[in-house]
Each structure stands twice: as structure tokens, then as C-alpha cells.
Amino acid sequence: MIDLSPADSSIASGRAAASGTPTGYLPTRHGRLDFSRRTAIMAILNLTPDSFYDGGTRLDPGKAIADGVEMAEAGADVIDIGGESTRPGARPVSEDEELERVLPVIRGLRREVRVPISIDTYRSRVARAALRQGADIVNDISALRFDAEMVGLVAAEKVPVVLMHMQGTPRTMQAEPRYDDVVREVGDFLAAQIRYAVEQGVERGNIIVDPGIGFGKTLDHNLALLRGLPELASLGQPLLVGASRKSFIGKILGTEPSERLEGSLAAAAAAVLAGANIVRAHDVKETWKAVRVADAIRFGVGE
């Protein structure tokens, strides 16, 4: 059964133990992410037939591996591989189907690139198999809520984990999402899930948080979260933001996903300047350039 409640609703308790700022780097089994004076880029490598932007383009494992290599060469710091669409209204696929999609690509890509690989899944069985094939990070859209065994796996394997906020499930999340104060409520949720993870043995230094742009949020909610990133950064964990080509950009610009590159780059730059440590993107080459300029403004890179 899926538990949609956070482990604890006290933002104070979750933040009391936080260090205030990330250490500046995140070690993984295949290199470390260094965001002490730069923002890391997480490349999106979807292997699904129905993802909202690139669905169906990488059904052949060889094509997916080649695309992953190209992403690494374009500047990706980590490659995030997903075998199930989490677009609004998406239906879940079986574990076996998810495994069939992701494992050959992880195996092949691990031989070709030296950057860390992330597995985008909320299932512990998929995460365990992916880690055995060479993945380094677990990116869990449920923040450890959908599979009771996930927290124990992450704790035992001592790997980084992304805890993301989502209201509802992918099938229901856009059915009239409501908040009294979206930044505070997302912050409360993430603080609670950090506390839960640590209590279950996950090392605090291995926890990344993600406000879940587009996951159970309206246009106004998404914009408020982007403006409120400094408050979420106060949780003291590396902050990941994924706004690439999402529907809120389309609502602002009146465009389809294929025409949202410029809006995605603007959102990525805004996220960097507001405190993001990692940005998740479809368009690695273009995002790398935008983020480097934003980093120069934020950190004084090149001075």
C-alpha cells in the first residue's frame, strides 16, 4: 500500500539537525559531484514510450547508450535513467518491464562513461538491480514513501538518494493541487522525510532534496517554489531542481514541449541564482552554457 503522508510534519525538527549548507561535494561510487563553486547538471535519459517530451526516442538500448555518452561529453555531471514515465496521468508499468528497459542501458553506459549514473525509480527491486549494474544514485520521486524497503536499501548501500516532493501520485497529482503556503508545506515535507531517512540509517550527507516542480503543482505553485528556493536551501541538503520543458513553461509561453528550450534555460538560470546545487535537464549542451553564466554571477567564477 502506498503511504502518501510524510513521516513527520515538523519542519523545525527536520531543520534543527541540518548543517545549514551542503558540504560542497557529494561522493558516489564513480566520482563525486562538486558543487562548491558550480552547479551540477543532471541529464535526463528517458527510456519510456510515453514521457511528455522525449517519449519513444530511446526504445533501442544502443540509441539510449549513445545519447548518454553524448550527454556526458556535452557536460553532464550525472545521467539520470528512467524506465517509467511520471508525467501527469501516467500509468505505472510492471517492475519487470521497468527492469527490461533500464538494466541494459545502465550496463552499457557504465562501460562508456565515467560520470555517476542515477536510477529514477521508486521501487527498491529496480534500484537494487540498477546499483548492481553500476548506478550510483537513487532518484525517488516518492521520497521513500511508495516502497517500504527502499529506505533500508539506500541505507545499506550507502548511496546518495534524491527525496522529491509530490502531492498525490503521477496519475492524480494534477487533479486540483492545493496548498495554503506551498513553499512552507514543501519544506515541511522535505524536512520530515530527511528526518525519517536519517532515523532509518541513511547518512545525512547522502540526501539530496527536490521540491518537485510540476509534481502536483499549478503554475503559481511552481513559480512560488522557484522564488522560494532559498528557504528550501536552508534545509542544509544539496538542492536539485528539475524544470526542464515542463508544462508551467508552456503555460507562460503558450508553447508545446518542443518549443520550451529558452524557457527551460531561463528557469535553470533562475534556480541557480536562487540556490540550486543541481539542475535536471533534457538539453545538456545548452543548459551547460546557461548554468556556467549563472554560476559566474553567483560564485564569481573567472574573477
pLDDT per residue, tens digit, the chain (303 aa), is 334 444 444 444 444 344 444 668 899 999 999 998 999 999 999 998 755 556 566 679 999 999 999 999 999 999 999 999 876 766 788 999 999 999 999 999 999 999 999 999 999 999 999 999 999 999 999 999 999 999 999 999 999 999 999 987 777 767 778 999 999 999 999 999 999 999 999 999 999 999 999 999 999 999 999 999 999 999 999 999 999 999 999 999 999 999 999 999 999 999 999 999 999 999 999 999 999 999 999 999 655
- Residue 91: the pLDDT is 76
Residue 183 lies in a domain: yes
Are residues 79 and 68 in contact, defined by beta-carbon separation less than 8 angstroms?
yes
C-beta neighbour count of 292 within 10 angstroms: 16
Residue 187 lies in a domain: yes
pTM of the model: 0.90
Residue 240 lies in a domain: yes
- Residue 6: the pLDDT is 47
Per-residue pLDDT tens over the stretch 92-110: 889 999 999 999 999 999 9
Residue 303 lies in a domain: no
Distance, C-alpha 229 to centroid of its chain: 15
- Residue 13: the pLDDT is 40
Residue 105 lies in a domain: yes
Q: Reduce the DSSP state of residue 72 to 3 states and report it.
A: helix
- Residue 262: the pLDDT is 98
Residue 1 lies in a domain: no
Per-residue pLDDT tens over the stretch 25-52: 899 999 999 998 999 999 999 998 755 5
Structural domain boundaries, residue 160: 11-296
- Residue 2: the pLDDT is 38
CA 11 to each of CA 7, 116, 231, 287: distance values in angstroms, whole numbers, following the listed order: 11, 31, 12, 32
CATH at 84:
3.20.20.20
Cell 547522502 sits at which residue? 206
The residues annotated as belonging to the active site are: 246, 280
Residue 52 lies in a domain: yes
Q: How many structural domains comprise the chain?
A: 1
Residue 5 lies in a domain: no
- Residue 104: the pLDDT is 96
